[in-house]
């Protein structure tokens, strides 16, 4: 590896919220610092939890205060958090994470069909199945690194998609998607004499649709966030960051890096399985679309948009992306005319003509532009933007400087 690459990699790790001085600190004290979360971490967790749980209130003015989209924010937040453990922490870019999302969904729906409508059983099974699946794919893919690893994961995901779409139709019901029906066996439900007639997943009697569904997802997101924080602050997290900054040096010093990578891969696969299971819990249907390469690409976009390697970034990126997909895609010309109502009619028509390619079915264009702008001007994602803004406010040159170095 050339010297320039190594320096750049070092700079990258600098932006990951960990100062180099910290990692060179004396062993005893420094390590303890990593093992236990600091007070500021708990403060962050508390603020995060509060922000997530009050989303229905503060997101209502921008038209996102309804259960379905907030459920999606939380679920894809979990997905992106997990993806970030692999990509953000260890630098391994997987292009096939949607395979685990889809596997989780199918596993959960099968649990609904076979055992019980209880969400807990379905989620545990979803996480387990996705974990095993990730172990298999990771074991093979992690024999390579860099672009070869990415291509391998992409190939596996696309293979899973095609299997789900046509070959495994008896298990996945192909394009139509797997659904629950009244005639499913649901052994446990029948055993305890509570067959849920409506086919709605529940959490010990609480039906997980609408708002209860959102709070269920939100709490799991907060737990997932907490776990990610713990992982980041653990020795295991440190190993991953070390692999990202220089895997060769790790190998030379006698560390077997692959077990760490495989563990990271499986953990992030389990996060994806949890997200996929939650998708099935809030809407008991699993389709092959969830495994398509576009879905894998989406989570990469979410993570980069929000900020690779940061804790909050992926969650923010996921929300922004889902917001664009759900809300921007629903703006039609009638809506635009109402939005530009305050302008004189000529100017109003002009504005509608200008804006309409970017909304409705053109939301992909907006997403693409936004992604380009972020990658060019804010390589550290939205999180870097936030840091720069806060740095500006504090008048602290140093903070802005660190931010400018974050990620390339």
Partner 1 sequence: MAIDTSAWSRRRLLKTSAALGAGLATPHFFVRNAWSQDQAFCNNPTGGNVVLGFNVPQSGPYADEGADELRAFQLAVQHLNGEGDGGLVKTLQPSSLKGNGILGKKVAFVTGDTQTKSDAARASAKRMIEADKAIMISGGSSSGVAVAVQSLCQDMGVMFMAGLTHSNDTTGKDKRRYGFRHFFNAYMSGQALGPVLAEEYGKDRKAYHLTADYTWGWTQEESIKNATEALGWETVEAVRTPLGAGDFSQYLTPVLNSGADVLILNHYGGDMVNSLRQAVTQFDMKSKQVGGKQFEIVVPLFSELMAQGAGEAVKGILGTANWDWKLDNEPSKILAKSFGEAYGSPPSQAAQTCYVQTLLYANAAEKAGTFYPPELIKALEDFEFDGMGNGPTLYRGSDHQCFKDVLVVRGKENPTNQFDLMEIVKIVPRDQVTYDASIFGGDLGPYEVKGCAA
Site string for partner 1, 183-212 (x = CB under 8 A): ---------------xxx-----x--xxxx
Is 248 a binder of partner 1 (CB under 8 A)? no
Window 72-91: residues binding partner 1 (CB under 8 A): 72
* Spatial separation of the C-alpha atoms in residues 53 and 56, rounded to whole Å: 7
Q: Report the DSSP beta bridge partners of residue 178.
A: 286
Determine which residue in the list 5, 19, 20, 31 makes contact with partner 1, applying CB under 8 A: 31
Q: CB of 169: closest distance to partner 1 in angstroms?
A: 8
- Which of 223, 369, 372, 389 binds partner 1 (CB under 8 A)? It is 223
Using CB under 8 A as the binding rule, whether residue 329 contacts partner 1 is answered as: yes
CA–CA gap between residue 82 and residue 283 (Å, rounded): 21
CB nearer partner 1, residue 118 or residue 150? 118
d(C-alpha 388, C-alpha 401), whole Å: 9
Neighbours of 203 (CB within 10 A): 16
Query: In the window 283-302, what residues touch partner 1 (CB under 8 A)?
Result: 283, 285, 287, 289-290
Distance between CA atoms of residues 208 and 264, nearest Å = 30
Distance CA 61, CA 55 (A): 11
Out of 89, 125, 216, 260, the only residue in the binding site for partner 1 (CB under 8 A) is: 216
Of 10 and 198, which has the nearer Cβ to partner 1?
198
Q: Which residues contact 107 (CB under 8 A, 6 or more apart)?
A: 122, 125, 126, 128, 129, 130, 273, 276, 277
Closer of 126 and 386 to partner 1 (Cβ): 126
Shortest distance in whole angstroms from residue 176 CB to partner 1: 4
Between 293-306 and 67-84, two packed helices, what is the crossing angle to 10 degrees?
80
C-beta atoms surrounding 369 within 10 Å = 11
Angle (CA) 350 351 352, round 5°? 90
Pattern 357-376, binding to partner 1, x per CB under 8 A?
---xx---------------
Q: Give residues 33-52 in contact with partner 1 (rule: CB under 8 A).
A: 35-36, 49
Residues in the interface with partner 1 (CB under 8 A) total 50
| Window 252-281: residues binding partner 1 (CB under 8 A) | 279
Say whether residue 30 binds partner 1 (CB under 8 A).
no
Interface with partner 1, residue 22, by CB under 8 A: no
SS3 sequence of 97-135 = CHHHHHHHHHHHHHHHHHCCCEHHHHHHHHHHHHHHHHH
Contact of 187 with 196, CB cutoff 8 Å: no
SS3 content of the chain, % helix, strand, coil (to 5): 75, 0, 20
Q: Of 10-18, 59-67, 302-310, 380-388, which part binds partner 1 (CB under 8 A)?
A: 59-67
Which residues are near partner 1 by CB under 8 A?
27, 31-32, 35-36, 49, 53, 63, 65-69, 72, 165-166, 174-177, 179, 182, 198-200, 206, 209-212, 215-216, 219, 222-223, 234-235, 279, 283, 285, 287, 289-290, 326-327, 329-330, 332, 360-361
């Amino acid at each position: 590896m050339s010297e320039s690459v190594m320096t750049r990699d070092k700079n990258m790790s600098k932006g990951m919220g960990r100062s180099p001085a910290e990692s060179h600190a004396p062993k005893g004290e420094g390590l303890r610092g990593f093992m236990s979360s600091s007070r500021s971490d708990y403060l962050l967790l508390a603020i995060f939890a509060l922000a997530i749980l009050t989303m229905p209130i503060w997101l209502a003015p921008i038209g996102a205060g309804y259960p379905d989209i907030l459920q999606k924010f939380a679920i894809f937040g979990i997905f992106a958090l997990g993806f970030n453990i692999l990509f953000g922490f260890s630098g391994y870019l997987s292009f096939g994470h949607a395979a685990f999302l889809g596997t989780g969904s199918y596993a959960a729906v099968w649990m609904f069909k076979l055992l019980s409508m209880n969400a807990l059983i379905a989620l545990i099974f979803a996480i387990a199945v996705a974990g095993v699946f990730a172990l298999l794919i990771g074991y093979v893919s992690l024999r390579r690194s860099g672009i070869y690893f990415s291509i391998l994961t992409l190939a596996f995901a696309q293979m899973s998609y095609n299997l789900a779409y046509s070959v495994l139709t008896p298990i996945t019901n192909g394009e139509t998607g797997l659904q629950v029906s009244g005639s499913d066996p649901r052994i446990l439900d029948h055993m305890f004499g509570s067959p849920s007639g409506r086919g709605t997943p529940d959490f010990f009697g609480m039906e997980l649709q609408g708002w209860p569904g959102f709070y269920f997802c939100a709490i799991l997101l907060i737990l997932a966030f907490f776990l990610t924080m713990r992982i980041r602050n653990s020795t295991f997290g440190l190993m991953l960051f070390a692999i990202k900054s220089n895997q060769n040096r790790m190998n030379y010093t006698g560390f077997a890096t692959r077990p760490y990578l495989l563990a990271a891969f499986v953990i992030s696969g389990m996060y994806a399985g949890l997200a996929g299971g939650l998708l099935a819990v809030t809407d008991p249907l699993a389709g092959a679309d969830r495994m398509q390469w576009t879905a894998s690409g989406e989570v990469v976009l979410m993570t980069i948009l929000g900020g690779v390697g940061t804790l909050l970034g992926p969650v923010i990126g996921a929300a922004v992306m889902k917001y664009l997909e759900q809300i921007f895609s629903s703006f039609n010309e009638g809506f635009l005319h109402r939005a530009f109502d305050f302008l004189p009619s000529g100017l109003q028509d002009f504005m509608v003509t200008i804006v309409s390619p970017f909304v409705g079915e053109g939301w992909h264009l907006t997403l693409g532009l936004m992604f380009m702008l972020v990658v060019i001007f804010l390589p550290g994602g939205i999180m870097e933007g936030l840091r720069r803004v806060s740095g500006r406010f504090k008048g602290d040159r140093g903070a802005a400087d660190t931010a400018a170095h974050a990620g390339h």
